[in-house]
């Protein structure tokens, strides 16, 4: 396409995600968090972790938060604490990030993929009900891109069939369904604090959230060599701890999470105004009872690859979340799925594009991105 080589008028360099605004804003607070850990001379399982766990539990409206090494390990330890393993089936959405599926595989259980609602991109409760077998032990809804799943229906199905629910809350910190915050519905839930997530550390980090004391205690043991009392190993555990430095950084960032989320919502509003009715573009649809934390702003078009190239040529960064659905990944070839088995997940993989979104993104930048998208469709 010749026109994609032409640059449109304004000179842009807009990345898909930019940390500079928040890092400038938080620099002094982050440096004092560093100093506090440095001078404590204590780096693993100390007071900074306990503080962050307490603060995050308050934020997430649960009784317990247990910090762990990352989001994938959080999901895995949640499943392990529930004693899910070989012979069990766990229902996961067919269009999730691979980590949800990997967590199930680590336990020896079988991931059962279920198609999402083509409007919200979140797991479709009707399809969950159809996938339940006598082996089913749990459902893992994923609040994809930042929008809360239809948790009332998910919890009702789980209750009826006596299944556990483990929310994958890696992308939706602070989102709600029917006014209730994600990460507080399931029996035990996993959250990621990967740097690019809405609440991000300066390295890898994650946590489980739960109201169940016994499950929280079990994860505390599992993350630390299966031991609650030093050198006394009750379980075959792991080294999957969240360190003091990351915990201290996360305490700083947690205070800014909701103001940053409000900025994401504002940016999304700007996009909705600028991109309404442009080409065949599909903008995010929000379920009437859900809120969206806009971890990502994902648009869809049949011309996705051309649009991505055009934006790239014009200095606008984008990403695809996710280009290959789990059932078509080589790692899962043994499950025997073929192209066509999950048509909604495949369609989403072929048409989705994440456009720039970060707290601190300016109105002028949003307008410039939208202008580039409009000129792509005009030139087509
Ligand atoms: C990021 C992510 C994870 C994994 O989190 P890490 O901290 O990177 O291990 C799991 N599930 C979803 C949906 C994610 O986006």
**Roughly what angle, to the nearest 10 degrees, separates helices 244-275 and 20-40?**
170
Locate 243 and state its tokens: 């360190």
Pocket test for ligand 1, best of 75, 146, 170, 190 (most atoms within 8 A of CB): 170
- DSSP symbol at 159: H
- 153, 125 contact by CB (below 8 A): yes
Instruction: Please tell me the least confidently modeled range out of 88-92, 139-143, 228-232, 308-312.
Output: 228-232
φ/ψ (deg, to 5) at 133:
-130, 175
C-alpha–C-alpha distance, residues 42 and 165, integer Å: 35
Closest CA to 264 of 197, 201, 190, 319: 197
Which residue, by CA, sits nearest to atom 1 of ligand 1? 170
Could you tell me the distance, in angstroms and rounded to a whole number, from the CA of residue 71 to the centre of ligand 1? 5
Q: Using DSSP, state whether 355 is helix, strand or coil.
A: strand
Closest listed residue to residue 148, CA positions, set 60, 82, 74, 22: 60
Query: Per-residue pLDDT for 1 more than 80?
Result: no
Nearest CA to ligand 1 atom 12: 170
Which ligand 1 atom minimizes the distance to the CA of 143?
Answer: 13
Per-residue pLDDT tens over the stretch 240-269: 999 999 999 999 999 999 999 999 999 999
Residues 290, 298: Cα–Cα separation, whole Å = 17
Which pLDDT score, from 0 to 100, does residue 88 have? 98
- Per-residue pLDDT, averaged over 26-33, amounts to 98
Mean pLDDT across the chain: 96
Closest approach atom of ligand 1 to CA 194: 7
CA distance 22 to 223: 30
What tens digit of pLDDT does each residue of 98-135 get?
A: 999 999 999 999 999 999 999 999 999 999 999 999 99
pLDDT at position 12: 81
Handedness of CA 253, 257, 259, 260 (dihedral sign): positive
Residue 275 CA, chain-centre distance (Å), reads 25
CA of 275 to the centre of ligand 1 (A): 29
6: confidence class by pLDDT, cuts 50, 70, 90: low
For residues 202-231, average pLDDT: 96
Domains and CATH numbers, the chain: 4-15+256-379 (3.90.1150.10), 23-114+121-254 (3.40.640.10)
Q: Give the number of the atom of ligand 1 that is nearest the alpha carbon of residue 103.
A: 10
User: What is the spatial distance between Cα 60 and Cα 62, in angstroms, rounded to a whole number?
Assistant: 6
Q: 72: CA distance to ligand 1 center in Å?
A: 6
Q: How confident is the model at residue 2 (pLDDT cuts 50, 70, 90)?
A: very low
Residue nearest atom 6 of ligand 1, based on CA coordinates: 71
pLDDT band at 8 (very low <50, low <70, confident <90, very high): low
CA dist 255 and 292 (Å) reads 19
CB burial readout 230-260, b (16+ within 10 A) else e:
eeeeeeebbebbbbbbbbbbbbbbbebbeeb
pLDDT(158) > 80 = yes
* Phi then psi dihedrals of residue 115, to 5 deg: -70, 145
pLDDT band at 23 (very low <50, low <70, confident <90, very high): very high
pLDDT of residue 380: 84
Ligand 1 pocket list (CB less than 6 A): 70-72, 96-97, 99-100, 142, 168, 170-171, 192, 194, 204, 206
- Angle 368-371-372 from CA coordinates, rounded to 5°: 90
Distance 376 CA to ligand 1 centre (A): 32
**Angle at the Cα of 98 (from 143 to 247), degrees rounded to 5?**
65
Give the pLDDT confidence of 47-77 residue by residue, as tens digits.
Answer: 999 999 999 999 999 999 999 999 999 999 9
For residue 222, report the distance from its CA to the centre of ligand 1, in Å.
19
């Amino acid at each position: 396409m010749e026109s994609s080589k032409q640059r449109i008028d304004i000179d842009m360099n807009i990345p898909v995600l930019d940390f500079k605004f928040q890092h400038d804003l938080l620099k002094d607070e982050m440096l004092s968090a560093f100093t506090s850990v440095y001078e404590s001379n204590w780096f693993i399982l100390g007071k900074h972790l306990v503080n962050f766990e307490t603060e995050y539990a308050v934020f997430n409206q649960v009784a317990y938060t247990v910090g762990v090494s990352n989001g994938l390990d959080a999901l895995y330890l949640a499943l392990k604490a529930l004693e899910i393993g070989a012979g069990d089936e766990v229902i996961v959405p067919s269009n999730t990030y691979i980590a949800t599926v990997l967590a199930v595989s680590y336990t020896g259980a079988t991931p059962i993929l279920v198609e999402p609602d083509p409007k919200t991109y979140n797991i479709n409760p009707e399809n969950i009900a159809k996938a339940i077998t006598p082996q089913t032990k749990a459902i893992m809804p994923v609040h994809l891109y930042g929008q809360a799943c239809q948790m009332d229906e998910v919890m009702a199905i789980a209750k009826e069939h006596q299944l556990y629910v483990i929310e994958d809350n890696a992308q939706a910190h602070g989102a709600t369904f029917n006014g209730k915050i994600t990460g507080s519905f399931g029996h035990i839930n996993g959250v990621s604090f990967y740097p690019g997530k809405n609440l991000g550390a300066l390295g890898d980090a994650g946590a489980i959230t739960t109201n169940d004391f016994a499950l929280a205690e079990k994860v505390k043991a599992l993350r630390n060599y299966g031991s609650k009392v030093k050198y006394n190993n009750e379980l075959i555990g792991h080294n999957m701890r969240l360190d003091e430095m990351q915990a201290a950084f996360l305490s700083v960032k947690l205070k800014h999470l909701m103001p940053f989320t409000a900025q994401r919502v504002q940016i999304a509003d700007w996009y909705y105004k600028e991109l309404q009715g442009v080409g065949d573009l599909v903008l995010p649809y929000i379920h009437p009872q859900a809120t969206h934390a806009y971890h990502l702003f994902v648009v869809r078009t049949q011309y996705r690859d051309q649009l991505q190239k055009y934006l790239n040529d014009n200095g606008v960064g984008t990403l695809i979340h996710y280009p290959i659905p789990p059932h078509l990944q080589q790692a899962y070839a043994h499950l025997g799925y073929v192209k066509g088995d999950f048509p909604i997940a495949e369609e989403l993989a072929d048409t989705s594009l994440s456009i720039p979104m970060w707290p601190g993104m300016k109105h002028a930048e949003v307008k410039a991105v939208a202008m580039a998208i409009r000129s792509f469709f005009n030139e087509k």
